[in-house]
Structure 1
């Protein structure tokens, strides 16, 4: 989006409570009093990082010039912009709810006061773009209030146990590792797979997840683990590759810099008529693989969210942003849109029973959710819900060739 639009949107949020017909925007950044709610309508609270106190002084004046925008607020605003698109859709469908948005970057005492207020106790559903610490706080509040908390971005259980009110949309590393192993079983079960990794705690976690899942499956992959030092070279990689046929490689690290170096070196060792294949981690979704240094390499990675640009609604959102804001919407715009739209419909459909109906696949817009309970194998209790749906995106020369 343009800086002008961001500044305008920030300014509107900083003015205080605004009440459209079907939504109530409640930033609560300049005051400790909270907007009154219509108790006859269902209430949804959205928490997202807006950094309003950073952008505005105590008098409500914007701290920067009109051409400057605090970059840390981008994702939070984009998520809210997507939520506003969902509100427009809900309004057109005649669904009446109160939607409140709160800045997670307001002072801690103000958030605590909000969560303890009588007005907030009427909330029926909490949606948050959060950090791990915030996830714990909102999950505990949701459990106390007996309402669902939808964590839209943090791919972590945050150490939460025995809390079926907690819902993780961005699948955890364990889920990705299990999904990647199954993907390799389905497509490369008879071939040797070279797992390139580096030293590190996260890398050990990845290997342990593969090893633990391997114990439970009949089809064992032929995995060969290779630990690379920092600043590894093309010659060092070549020692482990077969130059007579395509090599199937797996990147056993979440580090995007490691991923880029590995892919660049594998591309140089790849042939156009029989390219090497490298399967990567969910962090690869943020890497620009259109650059020439990745030419002649098949790059595959897992992601819980995939927006098909050919979809009618997605194309409409893309065109709207292009004509209105002269820019391309980020993934968080689509995430805000589909999350609020889907779960608002479930809340309307099931009311107080929405927590036990989260697996319902109705009203999905862009990505498919497969929300399943996660059972603690030690205590045999229901720890939380998680989106188990994974897409596998194949890119060749920067172009999406296949989505599995």
Structure 2
């Protein structure tokens, strides 16, 4: 059922129809949705013009891969039971954005919202971005890779509008550009956050950092070492580099069987993380479980499996959806009854990103760029958007969401969220 719905949604996008809000279509690779308030709704901000030709405009770029899913005549390339996995994340982000559109419409917010397939042929993207019509855009939101992020960030600077990078946790080599906003915190931010978390909770204990060889692993170590030079509370860290095929005996050399051990996994590799946690669980016990602190990539690991029993797992994440939240529960229930499936985190990200920044655009208009730190209109979590200053040039490189959550799980159950 879920696959059929996704195929139908892709087909609608390819044909230029967007549900659930009525749509007027722009040429491929874009579809356009206009939100219009009911007469009983609250009137929009006085900064927002109400005629349809002068509405504030938002452009959403997301990877739909429509050209690879449909042939030149518009026919779907796969059978009805098959769905191209590479289209899932981009389509789910757009589905969340559609929920935001529905909410904004009910609240009386008038906007023109355009969705573009960032994976459309390059010539089409070039023509789109160079066009005068696109230059009237007031806000850009993107689910992008580093190359796309750099291009849209540079374009946003020339247009003097914000570009919200919704998912990529990287600066994409962008410098001296306060129009660029990173919602998914960078590795540097996570490393600093983990160090501070350790300072707050385990400052007096010996801490072992197990890592593997690799460029990213070296970057993690450098970030820890760099921050350590600037902080008054130094941690008692011991760095251990493990071979690719490490065993439980190798870990046991550094652990104390008489007490709880505190371990940090200094790698973003999920495979390394799973092996490490499985081995540490075997060296742990229910009465005094070992503690292992991991990276944001641990969100994708299923810690409910029995091989992680008796191990206390903690990891940092920028996006935490509390299952007890009323709105989150409603979204989950709607997906369950309609599509017989659970919404992915991309659905929630699409919903929250568009809803939050569309409201700020409506509230501040052309002053949005100086009001990005406003925390109004949050849905599921919290953003803490701060300017990032280049320590060499002392210039403002970009904005970044610095909010981190630390999720603690034991035997697969969430015990605490810091």
TM bucket by the smaller chain? over 0.9
Q: Deviations over 1:10-53 (max 9, x none)?
A: 11101126597686565713x9x999994310100000000100
Q: Which residue of 2 aligns with 1:117?
A: 131
* Partner-residue secondary structure (3-state), 1:237: helix
CA contact (8 A) 1:198 1:229 kept: yes
Q: Which residue of 2 aligns with 1:305?
A: 319
2:92 and 2:12 mapped to 1: Cα distance?
A: 14
Displacement, 1:65?
1.4
1:5 aligns with 2:25: no
Q: Which residue of 2 aligns with 1:187?
A: 201
CA contact (8 A) 1:22 1:91 kept: no
Q: Name whichever of 11-20 and 378-387 sits farther off.
A: 11-20
Runs (4+) of structure 1 exceeding 2 A deviation are 16-27, 33-39
Displacement, 1:93?
0.2
1:185 and 1:24 mapped to 2: Cα distance?
A: 54
1:272 aligns with 2:286: yes
1:394 and 1:82 mapped to 2: Cα distance?
A: 27
* Partner-residue secondary structure (3-state), 2:320: coil
CA contact (8 A) 1:24 1:99 kept: no
1:131 is aligned, of 145, 152, 165, to 145
CA contact (8 A) 1:19 1:25 kept: no
CA contact (8 A) 2:140 2:162 kept: yes
CA contact (8 A) 2:32 2:115 kept: no
Q: TM-score, normalised by structure 1?
A: 0.97
1:217 is aligned, of 208, 228, 231, to 231
CA contact (8 A) 1:22 1:96 kept: no
Displacement, 1:367?
1.3
CA contact (8 A) 2:58 2:137 kept: yes
1:239 is aligned, of 253, 261, 272, to 253
CA contact (8 A) 1:185 1:219 kept: yes
CA contact (8 A) 1:181 1:210 kept: yes
Q: Deviations over 1:348-403 (max 9, x none)?
A: 00000001100000000001000000000111110000000000000111111100
Q: Which residue of 2 aligns with 1:395?
A: 409
Matches of residues 42-53 of structure 1 in structure 2 within 5 Å? 42-53=56-67
Q: Which residue of 2 aligns with 1:384?
A: 398
Q: Deviations over 1:179-209 (max 9, x none)?
A: 0000000000000000001111111100010
Tell me: CA distance 1:17–1:118, structure 2 relative to 1, closer, same or farther (3 Å).
Answer: farther
Tell me: CA distance 1:317–1:19, structure 2 relative to 1, closer, same or farther (3 Å).
Answer: closer
Matches of residues 271-290 of structure 1 in structure 2 within 5 Å? 271-290=285-304
**Number of residue pairs aligned between Structure 1 and Structure 2:** 402
Q: TM-score, normalised by structure 2?
A: 0.93
Q: Which residue of 2 aligns with 1:253?
A: 267
CA contact (8 A) 2:17 2:23 kept: no
Displacement, 1:330?
0.1
Q: Deviations over 1:76-123 (max 9, x none)?
A: 110000000000000100111011000011011110100011110110
